[in-house]
Structure 1
Amino acid sequence: MDAAATAVTVFHRPARDAAFREWLELMAETARAMDGFVNSSVAVTGDPLFDHGFSVTFRSEPALHAFLDSAERAGALSDGAALGFHCKSSDLIFVEGESPPPGIGVFRHSVAHDKEAEFEATEARLVAVSSKFPGFEGAALFPSDGGRWFSVLRFRTERQLSEWLRSDERAAALPELRAKLTEDFTMDAHTTPFGSTVRTVGGETRMTPTWKTAMMVLLVLYPTVMVLSRFLGPVLDRLAAPPWLALWLSQIISVGLMSYFLSPAVASWFRRWLDPIDGASPRVSVMGAAVVVVLYALTLLLFASVRWLQYWDYD
């Protein structure tokens, strides 16, 4: 089943706020006419530190992209540009259950009734503190029905976002924020290059158990090393690379492939199992581990039985 997907568009500060909001209502009407529309929201801008923004959610990622790529939306954006309303960045896409783009933090808040104004003011003070950290690019705050607000924090890199999340300044500011909520905020999951998923729940950062991360690394590492030994090894031998250099070059390639391509792809297949919240139950943990062990066996069988892949039998 497809997961809900949200697009957030951030705009430069408009010269005419009332006209900008009228135009965003037309944008919302355009989205409502598309299949799969769920809701839309206009960012609050009571404080100058908040970005102007518009969010729209659809029942699935394909439905969201159908709206984003539609001629109707392109026409609406063109009309907005003619009025002086220009996008500040490319659209930010958040798919339920998946990590946000690097450097982007998405926080969900259950705001207590009659505390909306206090919550907004507290968020503004929190943004003011975060804006002093390296790489800060902006923040947008979106209200929604039923008191479920969400905020989007943008840093230039994932490392800079992590430094802010771990900072003493942020920790000192959080108690005031929690006082405006009916339950503690949550942060959408982040996945590291080697498959660990990081989530903030109840104000605490939780991470994939080390044993699961180790199992994922082994699942990707073994076939990567075997394939490189079979195909890259002979090339390095023909180039007369000494063993110490050949091994170093092979490791550079294997780490690069695992970090940027293989581990993220495999981690996406095991998203629930790796999630420190959704995959925490013994049943999910055992079932996921069993699947990984079966994949181990299939990989071993492949390299044990297919002579073409056995690098040690080739001259």
Structure 2
Amino acid sequence: MSARASRGSTAVNATVVTSQKVHEGRADEYQHWQERTNQAAREFEGFVGAEVYPPGAGEPNEWVTVFRFSAMDYLTAWLDSDVRHALLDEARGLFEGSPTQEVLQGGSPARQLAPEVVTAVISHEVKPGCEQGFLNWQEKTLREQEKAPGFMGSELFEPVAGVQSNWVVVFRFETRAYLDDWLASDVRTTLLEEGSKYFTSYDVRKVGSSFSGWFRFDHGEDRSAPPNWKQAMAVLLALYPTVMVLNLTVGYGLEKLDIREYIGLFLSNVLSVSALTWLLMPTVNRLLAFWLVPARVRTRRTQVLGIALVVFCYAVFIGVFGLITGQIF
């Protein structure tokens, strides 16, 4: 089943969002365990990314993890694997009670957002036979949400047969303050009273998240994202050939059409940013993951190899475009 989105098309992917309360004073142990769990998940086919979010204000000791796979079969293979069950058995002493999880199929592609953006994940246990009433209630709720300050969008995920029985709503606000205002509002309180006839229970989790679009690696610790100099080298690797190709093709065409330079530059920027965000940067991230993902850079040799590979690609691109433009000599 696919997600029902408020905007845009539905992507084919599968995500599991897990919330777990860690015992007081055991956060360091949990983080080391989570790093090993993330590494284990990377070895499974279809793995796209893992994100870790530390406790926010008002959620003491509650950590949220997000695992993304390219298809539901790949995700369920990870969830049902002996490797994952062994890791969970090992970590039972770290948690207060059992972790909770929601499995989401489909959803809109990730996009780059401001770091203040916060996401709410709400799971509903819908009463049998009340599905259509619940959907109608959700549509009414969305119309009210759209009037709320700071609201950025919402997606509704249907149950996944044999994997996830609850209906899950994911929505974003510009800041945690805007989200908290909506959650505590009289409008939402009235809507919940009305909706209670359709579901028996619901659970709310807040995730402080920018859900970045270019570097979708582990989040939550400074060391979990690529350092700025690596990000700059990776972006340059994709940006230079993009700009050159556009200059030699689109730029030449716009010049022939006698389009004003400032308009032509704007159109070229739109094309280059689009190509980087949805095509080239995801490709570069996958190819250079061994060097960009901090957890994978375990030796100096890997560090040097990554730098050498990027510099070699720079040289190749410069040589190729030098030959194409006839300016190599």
TM-score (norm 2): 0.41
Choose 1 or 2 for highest CA Rg: 1
Query: RCO higher in 1 or 2 (8 Å CA, sep ≥ 6)?
Result: 2
